[in-house]
Amino acid sequence: MTENHSENTLDLSGLLCPLPVLKARKRLEAMQSGHVLKVIATDPMSAIDMPYFCNEQGHTLLEQSNEAGAFIFRIRRK
Marked catalytic residue, from 10, 15, 17, 22? 17
Asked if 54 is an active-site residue, the reply is no
What three-state secondary structure class fits 30? coil
Sheet containing 70-76: order of strands: 7-12, 36-41, 70-76, 60-67
List beta partners, residue 11: 40
Helix, strand, coil content of the chain in percent (nearest 5): 35, 35, 30
- Catalytic positions are 17
